[in-house]
Amino acid sequence: MASHLTAVKPLAALREACSQCNLRELCLPVGLSADELGQIDELVKLRRRILRGQSLYRTGEPFTALYAVKTGFFKTEILLADGREQVTGFQMAGELLGLDGIGMEKHACNAIALEDSEVCVLPFADLERYFHEIAALQHHFHKVMSREIVRDQGVMMLLGVMRAEERLAAFLLNLSQRFTARGYSPHEFNLRMTRNEIGSYLGLKLETVSRVLSRFQEEGLIQVHQKHIRIIDPAGLKKVLSARQDFTERHG
């Protein structure tokens, strides 16, 4: 159904897959030896291009493969019957998509490109077969899944106990850190998502997101111009996270 929307590109010509990929230090093959890297090149036989706004997969579709983001930016979201939506994550280069689908052999969320993107297709049955040969790959995959669980639990903390300002501060610092890991500036970046999507991720309404960003700007923590963010005072942002007035009052 999505075939006319997403180009599929065989990698026949350039056998470059993982061993030549500049994301190999961020992506699934982290820590593999050169030999092992060569082995898994054969795993990644195709890529898919997803245009902005199109979905890589949707809830209920049969699960067949994991996807590693090669370029671009995605969101994953789940929908309630009445239309309310929860964005469960934003994924950038080197991050895996599709782990939700393994359990039920159907995808459990929608993965939607927020800009024109490209992913490497990792057929899961093949991947599991490789695990038998490359123990390091198996182990690393388990780590990736485990870290996803820990990440999700961090989001629970965010949604469960933090106030709006703390959520936004945590969000901005997290983005900054992930951009940094990819070689971009820690202080300046463009948001790929709308205020509404940020709000949905953080359990806030878009107006609240807008207001808090404005407040951060007034306080000299950041500069906001539409989707462009400049972090002026990273330490100040971190303080928003750690310093709750009532806490310092009670214990200070």
Is residue 78 within the footprint of DNA (CB under 7 A)? Answer: no
* Amino acid, res. 224: V
Is residue 241 within the footprint of DNA (CB under 7 A)? Answer: no
Q: Which of residues 43 and 213 has its CB atom nearest to DNA in the complex? A: 213
What is the pairing mode between strands 96-97 and 188-190? unpaired
Among 16, 25, 42, 152, binds its own copies (CB under 8 A): 152
Q: Which of residues 115 and 148 has its CB atom nearest to its own copies in the complex? A: 148
Is residue 227 within the footprint of DNA (CB under 7 A)? Answer: yes
Q: Which run of H or of E encompasses 210? A: helix 206-218
CA distances from 136 to 14, 18, 35, 122, 178 (A): 25, 15, 12, 17, 24
| Non-local CB neighbours of 66 within 8 Å, separated by 6+ positions | 96, 97, 98, 99, 122, 124, 127
For the segment 196-215, give every residue that binds DNA (CB under 7 A): 196, 199, 203-211, 213-214
Among 3, 80, 249, 252, binds its own copies (CB under 8 A): 80
Cα gap 203→171, rounded to integer Å: 12
Partner in contact with 210, chosen from DNA, its own copies, none, beta carbon below 5 to 8 Å by kind: DNA
- Sign of the C-alpha dihedral, residues 171, 176, 181, 182? positive
Q: Which of residues 35 and 246 has its CB atom nearest to DNA in the complex? A: 246
Binding residues for its own copies, per CB under 8 A? 78, 80-86, 88, 99-104, 108-109, 128, 131-132, 135, 138-139, 142-150, 152-157, 159-161, 200-203, 242, 244, 247
Binding residues for DNA, per CB under 7 A? 163-165, 191, 194-196, 199, 203-211, 213-214, 224, 226-227, 246
